[in-house]
């Protein structure tokens, strides 16, 4: 049962992270979702797109993380860890991921503002400048 709790907490954490991350992304550049993704949702609402894609893009990452973490925490001779023992590490991982995404986004924006990076091909023609 503890393994299932670890897996479910990892999935929930990943989905919450994905939704929050995509809320920022969708409100900065909705075209990432309306042009750069297949049309899964019949909306142009940044909020709704971020909600839907935040779940689609992250639930499976949480599942993989949860399974691997549950195995590491529960299998073998070492003392068995429960969800309460690994919760803080999962939250820490999500915060580090958010920090990395923020740094990457800022660097990307600065490089784009300096014309050091740019869209090419079909995406360049489809995304408004």
Delimit the domains of the chain by residue range. 2-126
Give residue 74's pLDDT.
Answer: 96
- In angstroms, the CA 126 to CA 95 distance is 33
Neighbouring C-alpha atoms within 13 Å toward the C-beta of 72: 12
Q: Grade residue 19 by pLDDT with cuts at 50, 70 and 90.
A: very high
**Stretch 11-25: mean pLDDT:** 98
| % of the chain residues with pLDDT over 90 | 88
Q: Are 94 and 101 in contact (CB under 8 A)?
A: no
Q: What is the pLDDT of residue 93?
A: 97
Q: What is the pLDDT at residue 127?
A: 85
Q: How would you label 44-55 residue by residue, b for 16+ Cβ within 10 Å and e otherwise?
A: eebeebbbbbbe
Q: Are 114 and 43 in contact (CB under 8 A)?
A: no
Residue 108 has pLDDT above 80, yes or no: yes
Q: Given this model, what pLDDT does residue 123 score? A: 86
Residue 103 pLDDT greater than 80, yes or no: yes
117 band by pLDDT with thresholds 50, 70 and 90 = very high
Section 65-84 average pLDDT: 96
Strands (E), the chain: none
Determine the pLDDT at residue 79. 93
- Cα separation, 118 vs 43, whole angstroms: 27
| Averaged pLDDT for residues 94-119 | 96
Other Cβ atoms less than 10 A from the Cβ of 75: the count is 10
């Amino acid at each position: 049962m503890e393994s299932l709790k670890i897996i479910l907490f990892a999935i929930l954490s990943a989905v919450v992270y994905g939704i929050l991350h995509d809320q920022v992304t969708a409100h900065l550049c909705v075209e990432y979702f309306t042009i750069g993704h297949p049309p899964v949702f019949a909306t142009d609402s940044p909020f709704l797109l971020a909600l839907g894609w935040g779940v689609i893009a992250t639930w499976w990452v949480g599942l993989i993380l949860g399974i691997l973490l549950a195995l590491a925490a529960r299998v073998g001779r070492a003392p068995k860890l429960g969800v309460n023992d690994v919760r803080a590490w999962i939250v820490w991982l999500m915060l580090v991921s958010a920090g990395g995404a923020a740094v990457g986004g800022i660097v990307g924006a600065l490089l784009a503002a300096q014309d050091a990076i740019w869209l090419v091909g079909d995406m360049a023609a489809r995304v408004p400048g």
